[in-house]
Structure 1
Amino acid sequence: MSIPRKTVEIFTDGACSGNPGPGGWAAILRYKGVEKELCGFCPRTTSNRMELKAVLESLKALKEPCHVILYTDSRYLKDGITRWIQKWLRNGWMTTSKEPVKNRELWEELHRQIQRHRIDWHWVPGHSGHPENERCDRLAKEAIQRGRRNG
């Protein structure tokens, strides 16, 4: 991979009303001080799926390979992509307890997407006052409300 020329900050969050239930995801992409908000809705999903979707849609929105500084409040997402995925790939998408990996199709797509970029993964505690994380949380919850109204 060539060295990315652009550095983009991405902040993500997913939300679910019930688990499973109606879900929303949101992201803020920041490049040179300019921000773009992304969000979406799914009528029946889980929180973990929405966390994955937020990152996937953010990475797909980048038009060229970038150095991405990515912030998430999901340990599942961060640990999955930085610690567990290599074992899953070696074990044919089975966990260490020999169970199929949940949300496999999203993990596979995320694995493909991250090949395009250089990503620094950062975990932030949820609901701790981190401005962008709080904003993403609000956007994800608003996406659920809009989806329910338009549903």
Structure 2
Amino acid sequence: MEVHIYIGTDSKAPRVQPRKYGYVLACTLKGKLATKQGFKETTGTYNRATLEAITEAVARVVKPSEIHIHTENVLILTMLEENLDRWEQNGYVTTKGEPVANGDLWKQLKEKAGENLLLSEPGKHEYSMWIQEQLKRVTTNC
């Protein structure tokens, strides 16, 4: 099964601050597009918020799948593809012996992904504007 996860956040600023994030999980079931979405608030960096959204969405995938992760956060996608397996083998410690930034979330993501294949899809996506609109609506209703 092929699943697409589309990620958005309300801010790309690098500093730690309150943030909102959202995701859309989409797949085709019995010939029809099925979607689920989620929106939450957190306090952290842009990278942490993106990683939280990915982890939460991946946890909702119940069948073995090829999961395509769509986000503008290229750093997170690069770390996912190039470092996640190595970090797991090294106990979430860098080659310099330092704890991996957001190691708790990387570990959760690896556990929740299980045997699913995670593929990165960088850049804006078809749900980018919709997620931003929903995040603004959530912000104004608080």
Give the TM-score normalised by the residue count of structure 2. Answer: 0.80
1:65 maps to a residue whose letter is P
1:26 corresponds to which letter in structure 2? Answer: G
Is the CA contact (8 Å cut-off) linking 2:59 and 2:112 kept in structure 1? yes
Higher relative CO (CA 8 A, sep ≥ 6), structure 1 or 2? Answer: 1
Change (3 A) 1:56 1:133: same
Q: Deviations over 1:14-46 (max 9, x none)?
A: 34486211111111111222322211112x222
How many matched pairs?
137
Q: Specify the code of the residue in structure 2 equivalent to 1:81.
A: L
Look up the match of 1:28. 24
Where does the alignment leave 5 or more consecutive residues of structure 2 unmatched? none
Letter of the 1:74 counterpart: N
Partner of 1:3: none
| Equivalences for residues 61-140 of structure 1 within 5 A | 61-124=60-123, 126=124, 130-140=125-135
Given that residues 17 and 44 in structure 2 are in contact (C-alpha distance below 8 angstroms), is that contact kept between their aligned partners in structure 1? yes
Residue number in structure 2 paired with 1:47: 46
Gaps in structure 1 of 5+ consecutive residues: 1-5
Give, in whole Å, the separation in 1 of the partners of 2:66 and 2:27. 11
Q: Identical aligned pairs, as a percentage?
A: 20
Q: Deviations over 1:73-108 (max 9, x none)?
A: 112221111101233233332223332111111000
The worse-fitting range, judged by mean Cα deviation, of 114-123 and 71-80 is 114-123
TM-score (norm 1): 0.76
Moved more, 92-101 or 102-111: 92-101
Contact 1:24 1:141 in 2 (8 A): no
